[in-house]
């Protein structure tokens, strides 16, 4: 996906960065040791979960306020 966006001239690379910024950070793990990579990937998983949970929680809160009124 990153290769497609980097070679296409659509300007959609910013969409990829917005949807998965943690994947960009994982590019720095090419020459990391196994223990460093493991700790980094666990942190990336937690960060990704939080990034995707925030819009979901906002949706639920807004929807619950709308259904009450």
Q: Which two tokens stand for residue 26?
A: 């994982």
Greater pLDDT, 58 or 11: 58
Nearest to 18 by CA among 63, 51, 60: 51
Q: How confident is the model at residue 15 (pLDDT cuts 50, 70, 90)?
A: low
pLDDT of residue 26: 80
Give the predicted TM-score (pTM) of the model: 0.60
Residue 45 has what DSSP assignment?
H
Nearest to 1 by CA among 15, 55, 25: 15
Q: Which residues contact 61 (CB under 8 A, 6 or more apart)?
A: none
Q: Model confidence over 23-65: pLDDT tens digits?
A: 777 878 888 899 998 999 999 889 888 888 998 999 999 999 8
Does residue 7 surpass a pLDDT of 60? no
Greater pLDDT, 24 or 19: 24
Residue with tokens 């990829």: 16
């Amino acid at each position: 996906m990153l290769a497609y966006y980097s070679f296409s001239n659509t300007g959609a690379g910013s969409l990829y960065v917005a949807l998965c910024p943690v994947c960009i950070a994982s590019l720095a793990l090419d020459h990391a040791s196994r223990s460093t990579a493991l700790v980094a990937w666990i942190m990336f998983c937690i960060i990704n979960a939080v990034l995707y949970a925030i819009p979901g929680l906002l949706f639920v809160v807004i929807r619950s306020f709308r259904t009450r009124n």
